[in-house]
Structure 1
Amino acid sequence: MSKIFWNVLKVSPAVLAASLLAANSALAGEANEQITTVAQLTQQNDSMGQVTSVSQFSDVQPTDWAFQALQSLVERYGCIAGYPNGTYRGNRALTRYEFAAGLNACLDRVNELIATATADLVTKEDLATLQRLQEEFSAELATLRGRVDALEARTAELEANQFSTTTKLVGEAVFDATQVFGDNQAVPNPQTPTRDLTSNTTFDYRVRLNLLSSFTGTDQLQVRLQSGNNVNATPNVTGTNQTRLAFVDNTSNQVQVDKLNYAFNLSDYIRVKVDANTAELWENVNVFNPDFRSSGTGAISRYGRFSPIYRLGSGGAGLTVTLNPKGAISLTGAYLASKASNPDAGFGLFNGDYAAFGQLEFKPSKAFNIGFAYAHTYDGARNGGTNNVNFTGNTGSFNAIAPFGTGVATTGNHYGIQASFQPSSKLTIGGWAGYSNAVAETGPNRGRDAEVVYWAGTLALKDFGKEGNVLGVVFGQQPTVTDTPVANRRDGDTAYHLEGLYKIKVSNNIQVTPGLLVIFNPENNDRNDTIYVGTLRTTFTF
């Protein structure tokens, strides 16, 4: 209580006593005005008026030696009164009664301040209740203290042994067992004799390690290491790229720097990404197929992941700029050069193969997204097969991949529309359609054009059978040549793509996906038998 008293009073006992005594020092002997009894003092005090400022005393000057002490008692504590004529009479003698009355007035004021300051403090009953609760929950409190100590120890260990303050490691390992079923290999030309389809069950893997670094909190430097042994056996066995699987990446069991890029914000409305190698549009833009876009956890086929327009120009350096990336309407522009690192004639960043891409996205709500994409490409094929044309990103028929032949340089104008609709949290419907116009730049058909079309629809049922599981279906038509001046490179029939998969969430880090891919009229030739590809993919993420 004494501590509270002096904190409120803000002066020491010596200062209080000195202030009361000094302000009424006996420097003048006005005996006739002395008050010698408590009754007289009380009567006299009744005639005194309480003051709120020391300036109200006409006989007190700032030069007086006790001015500051008197000012503190009057203005800070309000326990000093003056005479009716507005004087303090600080030079008159002080009786013991006057001292007692003045001290009592100040103590009353201090007690009042203490009561006000401590009104919200806990009572003894509150303290007793708190002590009882502490005793009752002593075991729980001890456990909590132990957990906090353990967390502090673990945090200290992590800080001492952390890999990096700016970089985190994200990994993915994919194992798959695949079997192809069918009577004959597919051939593009109905007049070409077919061969029996012979297939053995294969087991392959692909491992990716991503080093993701951020230096400002909004940027990202990606370095991806990859190793795998999937040698794209499915097209070799089936005779068509229409059966190509999504997770095919062969490095002959060698570790390679598969990706190197840096993304950053120029402002709140401009996002820039620079790819040093293996630039891929589908990594940089919205492809409107969220449940199937990933090669490790999405569709099992290459075509089922997204529209082929996002595969154009892949493989080299690139620059992607997105305006208003978080807005309801956004615009993306990109330039990719697949042979940017080759200085030979006809290659390089601006004198070789390239894709100039643009996409306008409308995202009025989280449930509905739609995009319109355009790409202009140049594929400067070299006779001799060192740089064969890849007009559709290794999707569709062989005629669509090279509309005028594998050794004919080709330019293209590609148009695509993509959309996804999520009417509920458990259902997503999507799809895309595209048209490409190819123009021969070399050979006997130079200046002539060909037309390629494709489309697909997707359906994803989330939490099907169990929370976290996804049942998926993809149906469509892979890129098909509908018109070309080269008679033997026009697709006569329509091949249909049907894909079913069931993503089973074993845990947050393990997913098992059985899937079946069916190609009707492979290579757009109805004389070819239907081909089936069954696969069991297991994906580990860490």
Structure 2
Amino acid sequence: LSYQTNTDDEFQIFKLEYRFPAFGDRVVFTFRPVNFSLNSVLTANSPYFDAGRGSISRFTDSSPIFKIGRLDSGLGFDWLITDKVRLQVAYGTRDSENPGKGPTGQGGITDAGHSAVGVQFLTVPFDNVLTGVTYINAYSEDGYLDTFTGSLNADTSGGLSIPANINAVGGTVQWRVWEKITLGAWGGWVFTNYINSDAHATSNTYLFSVGMSDPFGRQGDLFAVLFGKPLKLVDGDNGIEEDEDTSYHIETFYRYKVNDYITITPGFFVVTNPEHNEDNETIVIGVLRTTFRF
């Protein structure tokens, strides 16, 4: 689920962030030492990227390539180049406080066991269309993507558990067809190249969505239907096995606004051929989410 977590009965800081504008407010710098992800700077360009008010599953809230690395601290900037073009750059790490994790064994923010840098261009070709093109370069000490979407085989890049460089490219689009109807889509390719091996793994993913805001004249409500293919390993060699079959994810939900502070969201999603394996039975999960905002 998009909002599922385990705090082990401990109090945790969900968000600690410092932002400041510069250069005539056209550039915004961000530093987040806690709970950082590339999406902390790079716009997801998804109308459902909100754990409490957006989609109900982790896969559908945004492209999995933004989740690469399971980062926890980082920084970046968002530059409004023109009124229709933005450049966003983000860099993050995981467990950077632990020495001996990275390629040189020194640890730290530039030598962590898991790190990623992302670059994204956002453009507004038309007043009702927003597009994004993204490139991500990451290092993983075990070769894992750690997106927690798609098959385990894809998310572990074949499961060799040795250091790897990861490159990913993706695209996103939102098109407001009508005042209350928005079409969305995203897709991405991930290329894992193992450093001390000739093995490599290639995975891809995509999603299409349609959403209707304020249906039945109820302001604040949202109805959406989403369909996509979770991350799938489609090509590999030297010990990397491909996912043999194809899994599809179908999701729908209705966000009902009770008042300015409470929303209730019933929904469900279906996953066919889980793990991209036709021998696995279809999974159906129903959800009733209540969100309080103060």
Higher strand share: 2
The structure-2 alpha-carbon separation of the partners of 1:258 and 1:486, relative to structure 1 and needing over 3 Å to count, comes to: farther
Of 63, 67, 71, the residue aligned with 1:311 is: 67
Of 236, 244, 250, the residue aligned with 1:484 is: 236
Equivalence for 1:270 = 27
Of 424, 428, 446, the residue aligned with 2:182 is: 428
After TM superposition, the structure 1 = structure 2 runs for residues 29-40 of structure 1, keeping only pairs within 5 Å, are none
Equivalence for 1:286 = 43
Distance 1:521 1:531 in 2: 8
Equivalence for 2:17 = 261
Distance 2:60 2:231 in 1: 12
Distance 2:101 2:94 in 1: 14
1:405 paired to 2:159: yes
Residue 339 of structure 1, CA deviation: 2.1
Equivalence for 1:525 = 277
Distance 2:229 2:101 in 1: 37
Distance 1:258 1:410 in 2: 29
After TM superposition, the structure 1 = structure 2 runs for residues 124-139 of structure 1, keeping only pairs within 5 Å, are none
8 Å CA contact 2:41–2:88 kept in 1: the answer is no
Residue 289 of structure 1, CA deviation: 1.0
The structure-2 alpha-carbon separation of the partners of 1:392 and 1:253, relative to structure 1 and needing over 3 Å to count, comes to: closer
Residue 471 of structure 1, CA deviation: 1.0
Distance 1:461 1:500 in 2: 12
Q: Which runs of 5+ in 2 are unaligned?
A: none
Of 199, 203, 207, the residue aligned with 1:452 is: 203
8 Å CA contact 2:123–2:132 kept in 1: the answer is yes
Residue 390 of structure 1, CA deviation: 3.3
Residue 393 of structure 1, CA deviation: 1.1
After TM superposition, the structure 1 = structure 2 runs for residues 57-456 of structure 1, keeping only pairs within 5 Å, are 245-267=1-23, 268-290=25-47, 292-324=48-80, 327-346=83-102, 347-352=107-112, 353-381=114-142, 389-405=143-159, 407-442=161-196, 446-456=197-207
Distance 1:284 1:494 in 2: 32
Of 264, 283, 290, the residue aligned with 1:538 is: 290
Instruction: Return 450-459 or 365-374, whichever deviates more.
Output: 365-374
After superposition, the C-alpha distances for 1:484-508 in whole angstroms (9 at most, x for unaligned) are 1255631000000100111111111
Distance 2:252 2:238 in 1: 35
Higher relative CO (Cα under 8 Å, sequence separation at least 6) belongs to 2
Q: Secondary structure at the match of 1:532?
A: strand
The structure-2 alpha-carbon separation of the partners of 1:496 and 1:448, relative to structure 1 and needing over 3 Å to count, comes to: same
Distance 2:241 2:86 in 1: 38
The structure-2 alpha-carbon separation of the partners of 1:296 and 1:486, relative to structure 1 and needing over 3 Å to count, comes to: farther
After superposition, the C-alpha distances for 1:472-492 in whole angstroms (9 at most, x for unaligned) are 111010110011125563100
Residue 528 of structure 1, CA deviation: 1.1
Q: Report percent identity of matched pairs.
A: 29
Of 218, 221, 241, the residue aligned with 1:469 is: 221
Q: Secondary structure at the match of 1:474?
A: strand
For the pair shown, which has the larger CA radius of gyration, 1 or 2? 1
- Output the TM-score relative to the length of structure 2: 0.92
The structure-2 alpha-carbon separation of the partners of 1:452 and 1:304, relative to structure 1 and needing over 3 Å to count, comes to: same
Residue identity opposite 1:424 in structure 2: W
Instruction: Report runs of 4+ in structure 1 exceeding 4 Å deviation.
Output: none
Count of residue correspondences:
287
Equivalence for 1:214 = none
8 Å CA contact 2:214–2:221 kept in 1: the answer is yes
Distance 1:312 1:418 in 2: 16
Instruction: Return 274-283 or 321-330, whichever deviates more.
Output: 321-330
Q: Which runs of 5+ in 1 are unaligned?
A: 1-244, 382-388
Residue 408 of structure 1, CA deviation: 2.0
Residue identity opposite 1:363 in structure 2: V
8 Å CA contact 1:368–1:420 kept in 2: the answer is yes
Residue 448 of structure 1, CA deviation: 2.5
Equivalence for 2:260 = 508
The structure-2 alpha-carbon separation of the partners of 1:278 and 1:369, relative to structure 1 and needing over 3 Å to count, comes to: same
8 Å CA contact 1:439–1:450 kept in 2: the answer is yes
8 Å CA contact 1:493–1:521 kept in 2: the answer is yes
Distance 2:293 2:116 in 1: 32
Higher helix share: 1
Q: Secondary structure at the match of 1:303?
A: helix
The structure-2 alpha-carbon separation of the partners of 1:298 and 1:345, relative to structure 1 and needing over 3 Å to count, comes to: closer
8 Å CA contact 2:72–2:94 kept in 1: the answer is yes
